[in-house]
Chains A and B, each alone.
Chain A
Amino acid sequence: METGVSKHEMGFFSSVLDRLCLTPLGALLLVLLALLPLIPPFNQQYLLRWLTIVALSAASAIAFDLTAGFINIVNFGYAAILGLGAYTSAILAVRTGLSPWIGIFVGALASGLLGFLTGLLTLRLRGIFAAVMAWFIGLALMGLAIKMVWLTRGPLGLRVPRMFDTSSNEPYYYMMIVMLLVVYVICRWVTRSKMGLAFKAIGQNMEAARTSGVNPTYYRIVNFTLSCTIAGWLGGFYAHYMGILTPDLMHTSKTVEVLAVVYIGGRGSLWGGAFLAFPFLIAMELVRSGFSNLPGLHLVIYGVILILVMIYLPGGIASLYYRFLYKPWGKFWEFMVGYKEND
């Protein structure tokens, strides 16, 4: 809740940033991301391609955290729902020639609708049962994508018209960074409003929440719908960026990757997973390509780090930030981290 300093105590610059839910430090990192394609070695196309995919993972981590970190339900069907957005937009483009710029929003709607239904179906279930239900929905969806070859071409892969008429990665990269910012701002706005308090309440203690007057049905459905809508939107981008779509995009292991990033980054922080995605996923990609004779090694590393973090650092990287960096170290630093006396 916004119990901190009032708006007029801030400068114009900080108050604009505050609207965007960014600290000056966060804004600086964004600027750095924007400049990255100019800095060697990231000016090479294949690295830029990695970076674009990593930024996409960062954005999907934020929307995943909206559910896992707030209402405390792990949506194991997340990757499949992202894939639904991807296939919807792709198939519309292939079959009807709909512009990808519109298609990605239709994909988002389709995923949002399924998120709504998932929320509805898992309503009476708690924690792990809701997660398993969402997982089944994801499996069913992937099964459909594999079997409906006439529509999706199944594992053969569906060729998808790309978004920009160029082979260079820059336009995609910048578009993805903008989408990352949009996703972050939307999730932040929602979670710092009253709705965020309701999410946290039903996530932390269902009985106390209900006794306090929070309607769990409504907030759970809103949460699922929003998270899945965003996933579908990101999926649409993925389709029109990669230019080819196969059902393994929807595999549970993709959800687990997002989950690992979110948990290691810091559940409930929104930014933790997004921040961590960049160094972590790039390192994992290096492991994967460096040890190609040991397939699956990166998944083992995910598992080990995830377990270590769950035991020794349950708040993830975000908690390290609050413990070590969010400090009143002089005026400049306070400005950079948006330090508030009474927080």
Chain B
Amino acid sequence: MSLLETIAVTKQFGGLTAVNRVSMHVDEGEIVGLIGPNGAGKTTFLNAIAGLNPPTSGTVRAFGEDTTGLTPEKMCHRGLSRTFQIPRPFPKMTALENVMAAAIFGNRRKPPRDPVAHSREMLEFVEFPESEKTVSENLNTVQLKRLDLARALASSPRLLFLDELAAGLTEGELKDIITIIRKIQENGVTILMVEHIMQLIMNVCDRLVVIQFGSKIAEGPTREVAQDPKVTEAYLGKSQ
């Protein structure tokens, strides 16, 4: 059974169709990569599913029910977490408090007995490099991405969206992230990730969905899709 299924999901901003009738699915336990050039509509698509910016039309089915247009907090309670392309933490809170917010309010299905300990575990899990007492407005982007991942994991998601988590990482950090993503998968979390970094995509994704100008142009096992001429063309920006 698919954990997530979208049927002809469309998102328009005024006259601009940012996402155009995208149908796709993510099966339980999979890691699916959502790829496509900048501005293709990937983030908008994630937002449409996660409730931050509900779809104009189309249907979203997650966890076996119709979740089209549900609020972000309801999606979170049902088991969907996401990280942000540009991490947006709670700037005046410490790193620990940032994670605790999700541990306490997002974790309806498996409320941790000790939210503080649970949050510390999450920070450890993502190998957060700073003290948990650091106020998050003092963190740099790479540190914020780890914090955002810890926050997203703190609500014990069944389905996790990662939006360009690895952008801007060094070679060493990339290896760490690959290990971390694999560990998340081993813990039974299904992942849909927007990513540009080929090394990461080829390493962890079972399947790829490619979108360009808001429409799905290819879908399939990672290796096949990566060799699809349509896809390489999309990336090289050749016009049909």
Q: Which residues of A contact B (CB under 8 A)?
A: 1, 3, 194, 197-198, 200-201, 204-205, 207-216, 268, 342-343
Contacts and interface: CB of A to CB of B under 8 A. Distances in A.
B89 A210 contact: no
B75 to A, nearest CB: 8
B216 interface: no
Contacts of B104: 194, 197
B77 A213 contact: yes
A284 B216 CA distance: 66
Interface in B71-119: 71-73, 76-77, 81-82, 84, 88-93, 96-97, 100-102, 104-108, 116
Contacts of B154: 212
B215 interface: no
18 contacts: A1-B100, A197-B100, A198-B105, A200-B92, A204-B93, A205-B90, A205-B91, A208-B84, A209-B101, A210-B71, A211-B72, A211-B73, A211-B76, A211-B84, A211-B152, A213-B155, A214-B73, A214-B106
A217 to B, nearest CB: 9
A212 B76 contact: yes
Given A207-B72, A210-B71, A211-B82, A201 B92 contact: no
A212 B93 contact: no
B109 to A, nearest CB: 11
Contacts of A210: 51-52, 71-73, 76
Contact of B92 (A211, A213, A268, A343): A268
B158 to A, nearest CB: 14
B188 to A, nearest CB: 19
B88 A212 contact: no
Given A1-B116, A208-B88, A214 B82 contact: no
Contacts of A212: 76, 101-102, 105-106, 151, 154-155
B50 interface: yes
B58 to A, nearest CB: 21
Contacts of A211: 50, 52, 72-73, 76, 81-82, 84, 152
Contacts of A342: 133
Please list the 9 inter-chain residue pairs (A to B) with the smallest Cβ-Cβ separation, ordered nearest first.
A213-B106, A212-B102, A213-B76, A210-B72, A204-B90, A213-B105, A214-B105, A201-B101, A208-B88
A205 B148 CA distance: 13
Contact of B88 (A197, A198, A207): A207
Nearest to B116: A3
Nearest to A208: B88
A216 B73 CA distance: 9
B88 A215 contact: no
Contacts of B91: 204-205
Contacts of A197: 97, 100-101, 104-105
Interface in B99-156: 100-102, 104-108, 116, 133, 151-152, 154-155
B80 to A, nearest CB: 9
Contacts of B88: 205, 207-208
B100 A213 contact: no
Contacts of A205: 88-91
Contacts of A204: 90-93
A214 B71 contact: no
Nearest to B53: A207
A213 B106 CA distance: 4
Contacts of A213: 73, 76-77, 102, 105-108, 155
B96 A3 contact: yes
A204 to B, nearest CB: 4
A211 B102 CA distance: 8
A206 to B, nearest CB: 10
A269 B92 CA distance: 12
A213 B103 CA distance: 9
Nearest to B92: A204
A204 B71 CA distance: 19
A222 to B, nearest CB: 14
Nearest to A198: B105
Nearest to A343: B133
A343 B132 CA distance: 10
B90 to A, nearest CB: 4
The CB with the most chain B CB atoms within 10 A, among A3, A204, A207, A212, is that of: A212
Contacts of A194: 104-105
B101 A214 contact: yes
Contacts of B100: 1, 197
The CB with the most chain A CB atoms within 10 A, among B89, B102, B155, is that of: B102
A215 B75 CA distance: 11
Nearest to A216: B73
Nearest to B87: A208
A3 B52 CA distance: 32
A3 B93 CA distance: 14
The CB with the most chain B CB atoms within 10 A, among A204, A211, A213, is that of: A211
Contacts of A198: 101, 105
A208 B52 contact: no
Contacts of A268: 92
